[in-house]
Chains A and B, each alone.
Chain A
Amino acid sequence: MTSLLVQAVARLSLAPMLVIAAAVLVKGYADVGDGFSAGVIAALAILLQYVTFGRETAERRLPLVRLPAAAFAGLLVALAVALVPVLQGDPPLTHLPAPGAEVTKLGTLELITAVAFDVAVFLLVVGAVVGIIHAVATAEEDAR
């Protein structure tokens, strides 16, 4: 397997990488990054766990098996954000609050539906990439 040093690095870096992903996600509207980048960063963090500890250990330590379901949850959220305005007679993907309106802020995070859309993309990408990793890892075990 991999050396202890790598294992230690992997274990220690998981949380910071996820934090970075979260930061990229919430900062997306103000700075570089968006839901997709954040999703890939989070997926890379998880991939590192897979590479270092192997599929079984990684999936035992983290609730990863549910992530592919998150992909479809993300797709549903994105569709909801897209279609709810249609019910109100607006074009699809009309975001709230309207331009110029007051925005509720949570620290520097502005709560607007576009952020919900980005979160949906994030969920989808994490779920999809982790699902692919899982599939490759499983196929590898079968191939052996």
Chain B
Amino acid sequence: MTFLLALGVGVLFGAGAYLLLKPDLFRIVVGIVLIANAANLALLASGLRRGRSPIYPLEGGEPSDPLVQAMAITAIVIGFAVTALLLSLAYRVYASSRTVDLDELSQAEVSRERELEREEVSV
């Protein structure tokens, strides 16, 4: 089981990393979500015990580790808040430069830099 859970973490992380390398801003955001998911899964899998849900009355043997669950919940919520922010940032980028492509954005920024420098020189 340990192996399989680790495999899940690895695949989620690898897929996230792959999307991070894409020029599309939205794919980057999705990649970050996947990596966050990998982290959440690893967090939960690192619990000391796996058993029944830790809710009283405790029936049928050992409950699973509640601490990692609480931590995972915190992590999920914060991940959600941050990705929501990232999404709106991506939208903001589109609104100001009419593209969500990193390569195009870089080009635009470089040419803008040049323009600014030229202005500075002429001033």
Name A's B-contacting residues (CB within 8 A).
Answer: 31-32, 34, 36, 128, 132, 135, 139
Contact = CB atoms under 8 A, between A and B. Distances in A.
B91 interface: yes
Contacts of A31: 55
Contacts of A132: 84, 88
A32 B77 contact: no
B73 interface: yes
11 contacts: A31-B55, A32-B53, A32-B55, A34-B73, A36-B73, A36-B77, A128-B81, A132-B84, A132-B88, A135-B88, A139-B91
Nearest to A128: B81
Contacts of B73: 34, 36
Interface string B34-53: 00000000000000000001
B110 to A, nearest CB: 28
Nearest to A34: B73
A76 to B, nearest CB: 18
B31 to A, nearest CB: 21
Report the 6 A-B pairs with minimum CB-CB distance, sorted nearest first: A36-B77, A132-B84, A31-B55, A32-B55, A36-B73, A139-B91
Interface string B68-108: 00000100010001001000100100000000000000000
Given A32-B55, A132-B88, A135-B88, 8 more contacts: A31-B55, A32-B53, A34-B73, A36-B73, A36-B77, A128-B81, A132-B84, A139-B91
B39 to A, nearest CB: 18
